[in-house]
Amino acid sequence: MERLCFILLAGVHWVGCGTETSPACVSAPAPDCVPAYEATYSAVYENTILRSCAVGGGACHDAAEPLNGLSLQGESQSLDTLLSGGWVTPFDPECSELFVRIADHGRPGAMPPGSPLSPEEQCAIGEWIEEGALP
């Protein structure tokens, strides 16, 4: 069954960690991609989310002023937020907002701002989602 995914782009503003609209779907990670680390949430959190999204100067999703209310502080709390906030749809990386934003770095709203994640990091996150986005 083919999925229909779409997006209404109106008034998108993209400056660093600005407000963005939801993205359209993208291709799933290639079946032969090589993950940078084990495709578990603990590994995704420790190796990518914590380093690229949640801490440090200019982090968009820190506890003090989380962008769009998405705080990625604390491993279990951030997992709950990603799942309950619609950022991750288990078994569906193609239309999971988190994966779309890291995989389609050429469009407004891509994460992280600046340099994209490596293909191996994207692969690990995509595989984690594809396998059910388990804790």
User: pLDDT by residue (tens digit) across 35-74?
Assistant: 999 999 999 999 998 888 866 655 777 666 667 677 788 8
Assigned domain for 108 exists: yes
Assigned domain for 89 exists: yes
Assigned domain for 115 exists: yes
How far apart CA 37 and CA 20 sit, in angstroms, is 29
Structure token digits, residue 64: 């003090």
Assigned domain for 19 exists: no
Band (pLDDT 50/70/90 cuts) for residue 130 is: very high
Structure token digits, residue 102: 């890291």
Assigned domain for 9 exists: no
Assigned domain for 76 exists: yes
How far apart CA 114 and CA 112 sit, in angstroms, is 6
Q: What pLDDT score was predicted for residue 11?
A: 28
Q: State mean pLDDT over 12-33.
A: 61
Structure token digits, residue 69: 């209310």
Residue 31, CA distances (Å) to 105, 110, 127 in order: 20, 23, 9
Phi first, then psi, for residue 46 (nearest 5°) are -65, -40
Assigned domain for 94 exists: yes
Assigned domain for 5 exists: no
Residue 14, pLDDT above cutoff 80: no
How far apart CA 109 and CA 9 sit, in angstroms, is 11
Domain residues for the domain of 60 are: 41-130
**Bond prior to 112 in cis (omega within 30° of 0):** yes
Amino acid symbol at 108: P
Q: How many domains are there within the chain?
A: 1
Q: 80-127, pLDDT tens digit by residue?
A: 989 998 899 999 999 999 999 888 877 777 888 888 899 999 999 999
